[in-house]
Amino acid sequence: MEYNFTEIEKKWRNYWREHKIYKSDIDHSKPKFYVLDMFPYPSGAGLHVGHPLGYIASDIYTRYKKQKGYNVLHPMGYDAFGLPAEQYAIQTGMHPAITTMENIARYREQMDKIGFSYDWNREFKTCDPDYYKWTQWTFIQLFNSYYCFDAQQARPISELEEVFANQGSTGLNIAQTENILFSAEEWNSYSENDKQRTLLNYRLAYLADTWVNWCPKLGTVLANDEVVRGVSVRGGHPVERKLMKQWMLRVSAYAERLLQGLDNINWSDSLKEIQRNWIGRSEGAFVQFHIEGQEETLDIFTTRPDTIFGVSFMVLFPEHELIKKITTPEQQQEIGDYMKWVSSRSETERQTDVKKVSGAFTGAYVIHPFTGEKIPIWIAEYVLAGYGTGAIMAVPAHDSRDYAFAKHFNIPIREVVEGGNIAEEAFESKDGICINSDFITGMNVKEGGRAVIQQVVEKKIGYATVNYRLRDAIFSRQRYWGEPFPVYYKNELPYMLSENELPLELPEIDKFLPTEDGEPPLARAENWKTKEGYAYETSTMPGFAGSSAYYLRYMDPHNSKEHFSKESNEYWQNVDVYIGGSEHATGHLIYARFWNKFLFDLGLCVKDEPFEKLINQGMILAHSQFVYRILGTNQYVSHGLRYQYDTTPIHVHVNLVHNGVLDTEAFKAWQPDFANAEFILEDGKYRCGTEVEKMSKSYYNVQNPDDLIAKYGADTLRMYEMFLGPLELSKPWDTNGIEGVHRFIRKFWKLFFNRNNDLQISEEEPTPDEYKILHKTIKKIEEDNERFSFNTAVSTFMICVNELTDKKCDKRKILEPLTVLLSTYAPHIAEELWNALGHTASIYFATFPKYEEKYVLETAYNYPVSFNGKTRFQHTFPLDMPAKEIETAILQDPITQKWLEGKKPKKVIIVVGKIINIVL
């Protein structure tokens, strides 16, 4: 029989599907294991070879774990709400649901050809009402919760209402937007509206005014990366900074837990570090400064309370609410001009010229709490609205930004920490002694800081605190293609639908554009339900809403009564291995952790962290190929000769190039422009230039998995993708190398079939040498699989097959277990051979073979030799060498001789395979 991969792969794909081989169910007799891929957003372009990389890895691991006796959950679905489908709908009028379904069908078709072991029974899309019902449901729970720092968990908002009724808002350690103080009497006298308005200050999903990039023409809020130089990337419409009422998630309440949780999960250091930086914990102090001649105080956050005697000005962010109250009449004009200039600048502009110093003086002063000195209050762009209190005490001597500001506006610079050269630059080191600082002079920076905080606390003008860079997430999008909020408005205050009204389905609309008066597209839905005459929220939820808890839903995807059952969650717990790109480090992977922790607080899921282990697969890049057209002609010059002419490089399709040599005839046939192309060759060949770039249609460097599967088969593709290099590394695709893997697969096939293509398997007992090859391989493959080193595993297979081919080994006892090993990497061919060996059940249910140590052991061990306990060197001896002889050999070793200096050792301790200790 010939190795006809097309037939074989089709045959087994059908068999697996018909026999529901990959169906998974709760099975308490086996340990569970959950392997998850980041589900894809199905774009119109289909999959290229980079997309399945992680899926192949997770599939191999799934199959491996299954063979190791685990009950494995390995589901797949689609992140189906999102921008591209909606933009496409705006251009073509085609409903996003239709294009999304088409794209999904295409993705599924491509994925099926690769031979994945997904349990497709559990498939769902985030745009299914059955699914987004639970996204909406969770939102309602967030709305009905607040965060208590003492309990370190989310609590029902009703509990807070009780507390307010009994003791008011003072002295509570809870997450809040602003610190509102009221007594129990005041609370009890509030109207229902006042109460609801106040509660928004504490809810985990809340409605608040926020600064956003607003594009009036597109009628939506835009993210920073969607705005360049003040205009929208799409359409080039002007964008303004606007204070808008938006739904927010109080992610910041979980900052500490999100940070602490990182210590207990098995993620890469770099990814944890990215999240730590994103959360941005910093310890410092809040301090109140009294504003001269006003009741008001100015609150600031600082990480350097020790430098409080070096303060020479204060700065507010340009839209700070105090500005109006404190600006003196003389400064009105200047401040007004500055604020106008600032508001004309987009977030991006602001970020591009951070070096530029700008600001304006309000004319007002604060009183220094210790010296009583008058300190001027400025406003400036470099102070951010969203961090701390939006105001700082500026210490130019010890902060480079304050330094630049002080130099620019000629403000005094006071040195309060010894050691710098403040005539030249700010001295930011935290190692130093405080000087010119009243009661902390002479202390080191740390002590000084503590002393200042103590004084500030005594004066009741501040306290030590921890501040986080992590901000609350804006949760509304003025879009159509997303989850509708289960929210209606009464007296301009939001109320939630009840659970039996869910899902609130996305209504049909005539056009996917905002309304004339700037309402989101949902406002076009004329016959959309309204609740008792009150209007629904017209924004939809952002992309991360649907992807924040999908892994939980896979545990129990068809449950219509609950998000997922308690039983399923108690069995499957959380994801053991999660594979996906690192681009989600500060988005999805933060939101999902937040979301999971919230559900954990509600007692719905048993694990606090959703993803125990995370693997970031690298990106697959491409070698783009270039030809060099001589300017103004249709002549093309080979890469090595291109500098002899004036040329422009032109991207050429990678399929027209083999090992750097252009197929000139195929090139002529490729595009009409090139039909009459002439070539200037080197060594009789046209050599192309190459460059590593991202895979993109416009670079003609996209490799489509379908083409490769047609040419080499899915098994070859799977193994080659793994063979390319370590999973985590980004690496360029190089189709040339695939031949080597294909050769391996055919070689493996030939171990079973003789020259006439007849199955030829010997039932003879293998030789020890043959056993050694097998057991070495089992051990190595097991180790490689465990550490996700699939590239070295493929090499191991190749070595094994080379060795067996040399020995012309056709013994069943060798080949059968090898087939089981290979089935995780190349499931189709393995299944075919397994079947040929006489098995009727699928190889998927085979057990991972055990290796026998006696065949695996090398002939020698390295003995580390230590003198008086300190390891000195290692010595290699054959395994079967008696201990006495080892001792003699060690003592005769020149290094031992040198160390002994002629003395006789008291004792020599030998533990085979471990350590040799010589004691004097």
Q: Which of residues 583-602 bind RNA (CB under 7 A)?
A: 583, 585-586
Gap between the Cα atoms of 517 and 684, Å rounded: 68
| 724 near RNA, rule: CB under 7 A | yes
Give me the DSSP letters along 218-246: TTEEE-GGGEETTEETTT--B-EEEEEEE
Q: Tell me which stretch binds RNA (CB under 7 A): 3-11, 49-57, 129-137, 384-392.
A: 384-392
For residues 532 and 665, which CB has a smaller minimum distance to RNA in the complex? 665
Binder to RNA among 450, 731, 812, 813 (CB under 7 A)?
731
Under rule CB under 7 A, residue 743 binds RNA: yes
DSSP code at position 757: S
Residues 6+ apart with CB under 8 A from 449: 285, 304, 305, 306
Q: CA torsion sign, 341 to 344 to 345 to 347? A: positive
- Collect contacts of 94-98 with beta carbons under 8 A, ≥24 apart: 96/480, 96/481, 96/512, 97/127
Q: Report the residue number, 507 or 587, with the smaller CB distance to RNA.
A: 587
What is residue 328's three-state secondary structure?
A: coil
Total Cβ atoms within 10 A of residue 201: 17
- Closer CB to RNA, 218 or 392, in the complex: 392
Residues in the interface with RNA (CB under 7 A) total: 75
Give the residue with the Cβ less far from RNA, 168 or 420: 420
Nearer to RNA, 104 or 627 (CB): 627
> Of the two residues 586 and 704, which places its CB atom closer to RNA in the complex?
586
Enumerate residues 6+ apart whose C-beta is below 8 A from 164: 182, 184, 187
Q: How far apart are CA 916 and CA 910, in angstroms?
A: 4
Whose structure tokens read 């005014």? 209
Nearer to RNA, 641 or 856 (CB): 856
> How many angstroms separate the CA atoms of 368 and 452, rounded?
13
467 binds RNA (CB under 7 A): yes
Q: How far is the CB of 683 from RNA (least distance, A)?
A: 9
Q: Is residue 679 at the binding interface for RNA, with CB under 7 A as the rule?
A: no
Distance CA 920, CA 911 (A): 18
DSSP 904: P
Contact 656, 688 (CB under 8 A): no
Question: Which residue(s) pair with 689 in the sheet?
Answer: 626
Min dist CB 583 to RNA, Å, is 7
Hey, which residues between 218 and 277 contact RNA (CB under 7 A)?
269-270, 273-274, 277
How far, in Å, CA of 1 to CA of 9, rounded? 15
Taking CB under 7 A as the criterion, the residue among 34, 572, 723, 834 binding RNA is: 723
Strand, helix or coil for residue 379: strand
- Alpha-helical (H) ranges within 115-180 are 129-143, 157-167
Identify residues 563-582 at the interface with RNA (CB under 7 A): 582
Q: How far is the CB of 885 from RNA (least distance, A)?
A: 20
Nearer Cβ to RNA (229/529): 229
CA distance 681 to 659: 15
Among 737, 838, 878, 913, binds RNA (CB under 7 A): 737
How far, in Å, are 10, 13, 67, 321, 874 from residue 18 at the CA level? 12, 9, 21, 67, 58
Segment 616-675, which members bind RNA (CB under 7 A)? 658-659, 663, 666
Asked if 823 interacts with RNA (CB under 7 A), we say no
789 binds RNA (CB under 7 A): yes
Choices 132-140, 766-774, 791-799, 828-836 (CB under 7 A): range interacting with RNA: 791-799
Q: Is 736 in the site for RNA (CB under 7 A)?
A: yes
Q: What does DSSP say about strands 620-630 and 635-637: parallel, antiparallel, or unpaired?
A: antiparallel
Q: Which is nearer to RNA, 604 or 822 (CB)?
A: 822
Nearest approach in angstroms of CB 309 to RNA is: 14
How far is the C-alpha of 791 from the C-alpha of 825, rounded, in Å? 11
Q: Which amino acid is at 468?
A: Y
Closest by Cα among 81, 83, 385 to 220: 83
Site for RNA in 307-326 (CB under 7 A): 317
Minimum CB–partner distance for residue 724 and RNA (Å): 5
d(Cα 806, Cα 112) in Å, to the nearest integer? 36
- Cβ closer to RNA: 788 or 834? 788
From 237-245, 508-516, 701-709, 743-751, span contacting RNA (CB under 7 A): 743-751
Instruction: Pick one of 106, 217, 237, 350: the residue that binds RNA (CB under 7 A).
Output: 350
* 168 vs 689, beta carbon nearer RNA: 689
Least Å distance, CB 306 to RNA, is 10
By CB under 7 A, the residues from 850 to 909 that bind RNA are: 858, 862, 864, 871-874, 895
- How far apart CA 539 and CA 542 sit, in angstroms, is 9
- Measured from the CB atom, the residue of 183 and 871 that comes closer to RNA is 871
* 744 in contact with RNA (CB under 7 A): yes
Which CB sits closer to RNA, 26 or 228? Answer: 228
Beta-carbon neighbour count of residue 920 at 10 Å?
12
Residue written as tokens 């905002």? 514
Query: Is 734 a residue that touches RNA (CB under 7 A)?
Result: yes
Using the contact rule CB under 7 A, the part of the chain among 81-89, 598-606, 720-728, 849-857 near RNA is 720-728
Min CB(801)–RNA separation in Å: 8
List binders of RNA among 490-509 (CB under 7 A). Answer: none
Nearest partner of 604 among 116, 134, 11, judged by Cα: 134
344 binds RNA (CB under 7 A): no
Q: How far apart are CA 908 and CA 902, in angstroms?
A: 15
Q: Which of 489, 873 has the CB closer to RNA?
A: 873
- Biggest CA-to-CA distance, the chain: 103
For RNA, the closer of residues 277 and 371 by Cβ is 277
Beta bridge partners of 290: 297, 367
Instruction: Supply the minimum distance, in Å, between the C-beta of residue 586 and RNA.
Output: 6
- CB-wise, 468 or 536, nearer to RNA? 468
Considering only residues 2 to 61 of the shown chain, the ones binding RNA according to CB under 7 A are: none
At 578, which helix (H) or strand (E)? Answer: strand 575-580
Minimum distance from residue 51 beta carbon to RNA (Å): 18
911 strand-pairing partners: 915
In whole angstroms, the minimum distance from the beta carbon of 287 to RNA comes to 10
Q: Which letter, b or e, does each residue of 621-630 get, where b requires 16 or more Cβ atoms within 10 Å of its Cβ?
A: bbbbbbbbbb
Per-residue mark of binding to RNA, 267-306 (x: CB under 7 A) = --xx--xx--xx-x-x-x----------------xxxx--
Pairing relationship of beta strands 689-693 and 620-630 according to DSSP bridges: antiparallel
CB of 351 to RNA, least distance (A): 5
The minimum distance between CB 445 and RNA, in angstroms, equals: 13
* Pick from 717, 520, 728, 711: nearest CA to 616: 728
We find the least distance from the C-beta atom of residue 858 to RNA, in angstroms, to be 7
- Residue 392 interacts with RNA (CB under 7 A): yes or no: yes
Q: Which is nearer to RNA, 302 or 540 (CB)?
A: 302
Is 788 among the residues that bind RNA (CB under 7 A)?
Answer: no
798 binds RNA (CB under 7 A): yes
Find the shortest distance in angstroms from Cβ 79 to RNA. Answer: 19
| Among positions 56, 154, 259, 383, the unique one binding RNA when judged by CB under 7 A | 383
CB of 86 to RNA, least distance (A): 24
Cα 688 to Cα 174: distance, rounded to the nearest angstrom: 64
Specify the residue, 549 or 652, whose C-beta has the smaller distance to RNA: 652
Neighbour count for residue 569 (Cβ, 10 Å): 20
